[in-house]
Structure 1
Amino acid sequence: MMEEEFKISEVKPMLNFKDLFFKIIAFWPLYAIFLAVSLVTAYQINLRKQSVYQMATNVVVSNDKNPFFTSNTSLTFNWGGASDKIQTTITLLKSRTHTEKVVEYLQFYVNYVKKAEYWSYDAYKKVPFLVEVDTSSYQILNQSVKIKPIDDYKYSVTYTEKTSAIAQNYSTKHKKRVQQKGEKISRIFNYDSLVKLPNMSFKLHKLSGELIEDLSPFSIYFADFDATVSQYKGISVNSMDTGSPIVNLVLRGTNKKRLVDYLNASVKVLSRDQLERKNLYATRTITFIDKMLDSLRSHVKDNESNLNDFRRKTKSLDLSSEGAKLSGELTSLDIEKQMIDKKFDYLKILEDYLINRKEYQQVPAPSVAGIEDPNITGNVSKIHQISIERSKLKNSFQETSPVFQDLDRNISAIKTVLLENINSYRNALSIELKSVNSRLAKVEGKFSKLPENQQKLINIERKYNLSNNLYDLFLAKRNEAGLIKAANVSDLLVIDTAKDVGGGLIGPNKRLNYIFALAISFIVPTLIVLLLFFLNNKITGPDDIEFLSKIPILGAIGKSDRTLVVFEKGKSSVAEAFRSVRSNLEFVYRKSQKEDSTRVVLVTSSVSGEGKTFTTINIATMYAMSNKKTVLVGLDLRKPKIFDDFKLHNNFGVVNYLVKNKELPEIIQKTHIPNLDLITSGPIPPNPSELLISKEMDEFINELRKVYDYIILDTPPLGLVTDALDLTRFSDANLYMVRQNYSKKGMLGLINEKYKNGEVNNISFILNYYKAKSGYGYGYGYGYGYGYGVYGNGYHENDVEIPWWKRIVNIFKRK
């Protein structure tokens, strides 16, 4: 018969909850260790980790209108409803440009450090001093400088130079590498005086004029500006509710005073910037008017001087009633014409501005030139407003952002309409100018008939009145613009300033840390146990066998340090286990339904090393010591080894009989155990399977039945070849060896299949190398036999006692 290689059948991935439960219980020391480590770790974290605080402030994004703004005042204008500005305000508060302004305003690149028991903490305003950096000088970055207050007037500065370091100018933000001597610097300075050191310049101010009580030292260092700005990019800015004008600013950190100062300064800086933008139109207009006033002021003085000089020369000259009337008419028409010319000039400036430029924030108000056309004033206001919005968004978005595309489309549309408004208004001004010129020509015709001196006087007065009236007009516009600028207020209204009123602690959550520690101390060991449980594909006890197979367990045999344990140590717990197996075999014999008085016991296993030979020897010994004539037959023709334990030879044996080389009496060897004979396998044949299924094998067993009461067959492992299955036709009882923590669960697949198909009967498992684990609660002493004398104290010879420390180590070796 050809050899059949063993293929491990797949074992269904069912979970043995009972085994898993007792596995977890058996690992209780692991849980205890993790619990202790987790609680100690949580305690150390709570002890050493700095507290984290959260501070907040609320502002309203309003839309305060200027009380001096009227329909005739185009120097400032409404930006739109507050809802249009909420998202922009939020974006600005989060922007890097705004953060840089706040950091620069507070000089937060100066860090104050003080040492506690377990850590160094941010001592900003926790020490009664404040550093004022000389921003025009370079400062060494990340150089720890020790400050030691001496008394209420002076302090010491101590630090050791770095041989190579980076220095930064906080005004220009430029950085450079500097080389130093590496010397220790120690100086004494007075408070409020300028500290001038190599690559370091600052002043140290006392926060109050009171006497200094805390003279303990602290350290300062200057941080990189960009790195400092990045620390505050995490500020949370959100609208309280959808559509609500209230914006909430939240910042977290370890120093409440620093958080409070940053939040309040952030609102203050943005409020200042927005007010400047809001006043930008009026500011540009005031600048334009101031230039006009400077130019007109000299003209007024020159004309006034000329008029006074002429009157002194002609003291007796006095205008007639006709001359006075013509003078008034001429002055009025001159002013009217000059205002029209100013409007033409403004329209020219505005037109050039729209055509040649892309920024429209510096356009003066149309009202400066007396233009009150609602189309022009309204569109100039709109294009100026959108231009300001576009400028603000540069800090938050890239130039390619869709938001700029929308704004540019709006600007382009307004610009097109505004150019059409300029052309229409210019045409209307041309008609008005023709009318003024016509009236002026008529008056000048009458004027030419007056005496020469009166004409000269009137001309001088015309120039003076014209320049003086124009000066007064621009001066009025200047006052109007100043009034509007002064009346403007910021659109940010602070509801609650950030303030340290106690509380604000958000971490660490000490109670939660302990809860996490307890959870980890349970979850992690459980995961380890589950991992070991699912990765362990070996049989760990009787429960595994019962779970994986319907084949009954005949007994469990413990570990022994000798092979002939029944003969040499008959009172041991292992020997008692074999007696239990012998007793249980009687129930198997009753099922065999064979009338022959000779009993044949076949012992096999999945693979070698599971205790097959050890079991056959001791079962045979057990029967022999019961005064039963017993023979132990070695049928593992491929790997004979049973003879060594009896100190006999393997020169001849079963193979010699099967090939008709020797007769039965010639191959039987007597052992030193009474009533026990041994037949070894003999020389290794080339065709072992064919020999075992031959008719000579049947004759061999039949002859043995005539001589012996018990025939014990030591067969090859079933997992390697199927010879054992062929021999089951002779046996009354079949024992299948399983070794604890050695035999793999999948190895039971083949025998389960044979048992299910009825190919093998009267088969039972023997669990070898078994050690009962008290944590598992098996209790297989009565029905199966036992190997470690759990119940044998006082009745059996005890095995060597295992030291307590080895037992603890063995707990963690279990799988």
Structure 2
Amino acid sequence: MYPNSPQPNSGANSPFLANHEDEIDLKVLIFNYLQYWPLLLIFMFSGLVAAFLFNRYTTPIYKVESSILVADDKPSLGMDLFESSGLGMLQGKNNIENEIGILKSFSLAEEAIEDLGLNVQYFQEEFFKTSQLYGSVPLMVTVDWTQPQLVGGMFKIAVIDEKTFHLTISNDEFSVYSPSDKFFKSLFEEDLSLKEVYSFGEVISGEFYSFKIDLINALPGDEILFRVLDTPSLALQLREELNVAPINKQASILTLSLETPVRRLGQDYINKLMEMYLQRELEEKNKASENTVLFIDQQLSGITDSLRYSENRLQQYRTENRVFNLSQEGAVIFERLQELEKERAQTEVTLKYYKTLQTYLSNNQSTDLVAPSVIGITDPLLNSLVQSLSELQAEQVRLKANFTDQTPVVRENASRVQNAKRALQENVNLASQNTQNVLADLNNRIKMIERDVNSLPQTERNLLGIQRQFTINENIYVYLLQKKAEAEITKAANMPTNSVLDFAKSGQLPVAPKRSLNLLIGMILGLILPIGFITVKDFLNTKIEDPKELEKQIKVPLIGMIGRSTSDEALPVFNNPRSSVTESFRSLRADLAYLSPQKRNLSLLFTSTISGEGKTFVSMNMASVFALMGKKTVLIGLDLRKPRIAQDFNLSNDKGMSTCLSSDISWKDVVKASGYENLDVILSGPIPPNPAELLLQDKFKVIVNEIKEAYDVVVFDCPPVGLVSETKELFGFADVNFYVFRQGYSMKGNSQILNNLVEKGGVTKIYGVFNDLHIDKGYGYGYGYGYGYGYGNNSYGYHEEVQLPWWKRALRRQS
């Protein structure tokens, strides 16, 4: 029995069958792609070749890395208490984040570029690529940045001899850089006129360019490309390309990395950047010492004159009055006064510092502050506030160099500066008031001691006053000199807090292109592109390809599938009885025993939607398989508009069914021998002007009944039901009706026509037949699906086997 024939209790819901069907669907999907295996191989090979060429001619990119150790900030005594007080006047800063910001700052990148002279880039053309030169360049281009310059485009130098060269333009995408507005460049759209030949060392100048080219070691015939880039644009570019990140969340070690096609350039740039970074830190430290020395020098300039005056006066008084030493009583009084006045002098210096600090805060000055500890003020909170304000102001200067005033980070830091100033102002006011109280107390104590001076002789009193003034000035002068020396020693001993752990070094292997990955991507793309094309093609295909898809679409059973004939013969049943196509017709014949049981005479009707779907081929061969059984069979051609049976049997269509219906000629007179035993043919006859009316008359019914009495099997070859109307009336003359579909030819919408015949037209006993099933369209759909089931050689098999492709034979063995 045919595998797809309808049976009672067929077990359609069996899990085993469901799994088997899923397996078949997967195989169909695989075979659908494997039939294009030459195309897949070509595209995969092309993808590998493209990836290989990409790897071969793409400039490799290397990763350059270095590391810096950032020293942790140690808050001053009292600073932690102030920050945790919840007042919000000062906020702790993240030292790592600040150092990352400094390393990625525009100003630092600009300094490194200017120091290295990276504004001119040199290139050399190679096969299919251009390589950048760095270090030992054959030419040196010197640009005059004091006037506008053309940047971005590419110049080409062709060396003629040791003195002259050709200068041309290789890429004219120029912009005009103006030193008056460094961050704005205008497009250069004019034609740049250059002389044909220039001399080395000659200044090449125009309205928007001025540079000279010096020969180093280039040889005649060498061609060098160069490009001029302005410092701000290059600084912004390198700033974006530089990656600075801590090695982990807990560490204070920063890793600097840069991906560049020129390893040495990347190493030099990162090393120079770290050098500038440490130099900047050292300069920031030295500023505090320099400001301290400046403040002390200002104080010394005033006290020096007073000291010199008092010294001269003391010397003159001693000479004139011949008095050199104080009495014992005067010495005791003088010692007490000296101690108090020394303390008062230091207090006055402290008060003067507070006044200077108040003026600084009131006027919103931005110059660097002098630390209180420099002049002997040991208040830890005041020292912490001054240090924090100084750092916040330095951070504000750095941020403004890279962002506008309206940027959130700048506005946030400005708010921190104001909070720090308010906190410092309150502390300074309180400290100044306390210092004034101390100074007043000292003055009172000095006045009390001065009363004892009145008991001394006049000469001694005068000497005591003059020596007292000299000692006061001398103590202040010595004190200031000591602090100045300390500041200068501090400056000389200053070292950067941070340090370089590893200088820049490049990896041995490039990070791009990733050769293995590119080859894999090329192969995958080479596979995906044709698969995608095939998938889209199949998705947009409106033809019926898959038998299972047809089974789901039609409302009647798909009773048979006819494979594609390997020859052009119209009657493979007679001419090639052992072919797989013949076997598929035998299978269909066997199924008829279940479709129309216990019928002595059998009538079959074949139709389709349109011409070309193979209904005539199927009806002819179906009649042939019954004739081979010894059944007396007749094939009737009812397609009166487009007959084909006559030429397939090599007969003349001079008479036939149209002749009987349009005249008094008996049907027996139009029967023709097919040339094969047990098979007769009634052709359609000459094409009449009214085929539909001929077939609908009562005479046709009488003729059909007589033919059924005379033959065991009657096969009707009807016109396409989708094109003509009379076929719908002919379904009632047959015991079993077949609707023929053709793989790769019948439209998917044809299934709806068959469903309408069943649901609306009331046609019964109709089944689907799938014709011209290709060997390369699927796997394992019954006997007619392109391969046999013989035991091996043709001489011993049930029918001839069709040779499968190697990949199908392999999968068939695995299954």
> TM class by shorter-chain length?
0.7 to 0.9
Whether 2:238 is the aligned partner of 1:235: answer no
Is residue 118 of structure 2 the alignment partner of residue 115 of structure 1? no
Rounded Cα–Cα distance in structure 2 between residues aligned with 1:469 and 1:532: 102
Q: Which residue of 2 aligns with 1:426?
A: 432
CA contact 1:652–1:683 (8 Å) conserved in 2 = no
Matches of 2:420 and 2:581, distance apart in 1: 107
1:517 paired residue among 519, 522, 540 = 522
2:252 matched residue in structure 1: 245
Contact kept? 1:621, 1:673, Cα under 8 Å: no
Structure 2 Cα separation of the partners of residues 391 and 195 of structure 1: 39
Counterpart for residue 47 of structure 1: 56
Alpha-carbon distance, 1:48 to partner: 0.7
Q: In structure 2, which of residues 276, 282, 285 is the aligned counterpart of residue 278 of structure 1?
A: 285
**Counterpart residue number, 2:508:** 503
Q: 2:163 matched to 1:159? A: no
Q: Aligned partners of 2:52 and 2:133: how far apart in 1?
A: 25
Q: What displacement does 1:16 show?
A: 2.9
Sort the Cα spacing of 1:146 and 1:415 in 2 relative to 1 into closer, same or farther, 3 A. Answer: closer
How far apart in 2 are the matches of 1:784 and 1:196?
82
In the alignment, does 2:195 pair up with 1:187?
no
Q: Contact between 1:732 and 1:762, CA under 8 Å: does it hold in 2?
A: no
User: 2:738 matched to which residue of 1?
Assistant: 735
1:269 and 2:272 correspond: no
Give the aligned partner of residue 18 of structure 1: 27
Q: Which amino acid aligns with 1:159?
A: L
- Contact kept, 8 Å, 2:655 with 2:683, in 1: the verdict is no
Alpha-carbon RMSD across the aligned residues, in angstroms, is 5.5
- Structure 2 CA distance for aligned equivalents of residues 283 and 608 of structure 1: 104
CA distance change for structure 1 residues 606 and 271 in 2, over 3 Å: closer, same or farther?
same
Match of 1:601 in 2: 604
Matches for 1:177-216 after TM superposition, within 5 Å: 181-189=193-201, 197-198=205-206, 199-201=209-211
Aligned in 2, Cα 1:515/1:528: closer, same or farther, shift over 3 Å?
A: same
> Using a 3 Å threshold, how does the CA distance of structure 1 residues 425 and 303 change in structure 2: closer, same or farther?
same
How far residue 609 of structure 1 moved from its aligned partner, in angstroms, is: 3.8
> Cα 1:451–1:170, aligned 2, differ >3 Å: closer, same or farther?
farther
CA deviation after TM superposition for structure 1 residue 342, in Å? 3.4
d(CA) in 2 for partners of 1:584 and 1:427?
119
Q: Which residue of 1 aligns with 2:372?
A: 366
Deviation at 1:358, TM superposition (A): 7.5
Post-superposition Cα deviations, 1:321-345, rounded to whole Å, max 9, x if no partner, equal 4777777776666555444443333
- The match for 2:485 among 451, 476, 479 is 479
Distance 2:770 2:787 in 1: 9
For 1:46, what is the secondary structure of its paired residue? helix
Q: Secondary structure of 2:558's partner?
A: coil
Instruction: Flag the 1:631–1:427 CA change in 2: closer, same or farther, 3 A.
Output: closer
Letter in 1 for 2:704: I
1:788 match = none
Q: Give the partner amino acid of 1:183.
A: K
Aligned-partner Cα distance in 2 for 1:215–1:492? 50
Query: CA-to-partner distance for each residue in 1:725-764, whole Å, 9 max, x for gaps?
Result: 6644432453332223111456447758999999744846
Q: Does the CA-based 8 Å contact 1:558-1:574 persist in structure 2?
A: no
Farther off after superposition, 540-549 or 729-738 = 540-549
Secondary structure at 1:471 match in 2: helix
> Are the equivalent residues in 1 in contact too, given 2:123–2:133 (CA < 8 A)?
yes
Deviation larger for 220-229 or 571-580: 571-580
Letter in 1 for 2:485: N
> 1: distance between equivalents of 2:131 and 2:180?
28
**Cα gap change, 1:714 to 1:307, in 2 (>3 Å):** same
Report how many residues are paired: 737
Residue 480 of structure 1 deviates from its aligned partner by 1.4
Q: Which runs of 5+ in 2 are unaligned?
A: 1-17, 79-89, 675-679, 789-793, 796-815
State how far apart, in whole Å, the 1-side matches of 2:243 and 2:724 are. 74
Q: TM-score normalised to the size of structure 2? A: 0.72
Q: What is the Cα deviation at residue 475 of structure 1?
A: 2.2
- Secondary structure at the aligned position of 2:294 is classed as helix
Q: Percent identity?
A: 26
SS state at 1:498 partner: strand
1:42·1:517 contact (CA, 8 Å) conserved in 2? yes
Q: Distance in 2 between matches of 1:455 and 1:196?
A: 84
Distance of aligned partners of 1:747 and 1:18 in 2 relative to their CA distance in 1, 3 Å threshold: farther
Tell me the distance in 2 between the aligned counterparts of 1:95 and 1:418: 29
Helix, strand or coil: the match of 2:69?
strand
1:528 correspondence with 2:538: no
Give the equivalent residue in structure 2 for 1:104: 114
Q: Could you say which residue in structure 2 is the equivalent of 1:222? A: 228
Q: Which residue of 2 aligns with 1:89?
A: 99
Q: Is residue 765 from structure 1 mapped to residue 769 from structure 2 by the alignment? A: yes
Please tell me whether the aligned partners of residues 142 and 221 of structure 1 are also in contact (alpha carbons under 8 angstroms): yes
- Select the residue among 27, 37, 40 that pairs with 2:46: 37
Cα deviation per residue 1:240-290 (whole Å; 9 max; x = unaligned)? 122112221121111110111112112111112222223333332222223
1:461-505 per-position Cα deviation (integer Å, ceiling 9, x unaligned) = 6655544443332222222122222222212211111135x7143
C-alpha distance after superposition, 1:151-204 (max 9, x if no partner): 9xx876652479995453679736677876432352224xxxx96755334686
Q: Deviations over 1:369-400 (max 9, x none)?
A: 55444443343334334444454455677766
Q: Spell out, residue by residue over 1:126-145, the C-alpha distance to the aligned partner (whole angstroms, 9 max, x if none).
A: 53777665554554324545
- 2: distance between equivalents of 1:706 and 1:70? 124
Which of these residues, 553, 557, 562, is aligned with residue 560 of structure 2? 553
Q: Answer whether contact 1:650 1:683 (CA < 8 A) is retained.
A: no
CA contact (8 A) 2:108 2:277 kept: yes
Question: Over residues 337-367 of structure 1, what are the superposed CA-to-partner deviations in whole Å (9 max), with x where a residue is unaligned?
Answer: 44444333322332233344285x6232234
Structure 1 pair 185–293 and aligned structure 2 pair: CA distance change class (3 A): farther
For the 8 Å contact 2:40–2:527, the answer to whether it is kept is yes
| Partners of 1:782 and 1:300 in 2: CA distance | 122
Assess if the C-alpha contact under 8 Å between 2:282 and 2:495 holds in 1. yes
Contact 2:614-2:771 within 8 A present in 1 as well: no
User: Residues of 1 paired with 2:412 and 2:115: CA distance?
Assistant: 34
Cα deviation, 1:491-532, whole Å, max 9, x if unaligned, reads 2211111135x7143233333333333333434333433444
Aligned-partner residue type, residue 634 of structure 1: L
Tell me what 2:12 maps to.
Answer: none
In structure 2, relative to structure 1, the CA distance for the partners of 1:197 and 1:308 (3 Å cut) is farther
User: What is the alpha-carbon distance in structure 2 between the residues aligned to residue 383 and residue 533 of structure 1?
Assistant: 73
Q: Distance in 2 between matches of 1:203 and 1:466?
A: 68
1:411-441 deviations in Å (ceiling 9; x for gaps)? 5665555444334433433333333333444
Partner of 1:803: none
State the secondary structure of the residue aligned to 2:200: strand
SS at match of 1:486: helix
How far apart in 1 are the matches of 2:173 and 2:51? 41
Please say if residues 668 and 678 of structure 1, whose CA atoms lie closer than 8 Å, have aligned partners that are also in contact. no
Give the TM-score taking structure 1 as reference length: 0.72
Asked if the contact 2:61/2:511 (under 8 Å) is kept, the reply is yes
Mean Cα deviation higher: 722-731 or 50-59: 722-731
What's the CA shift for 1:603?
1.0
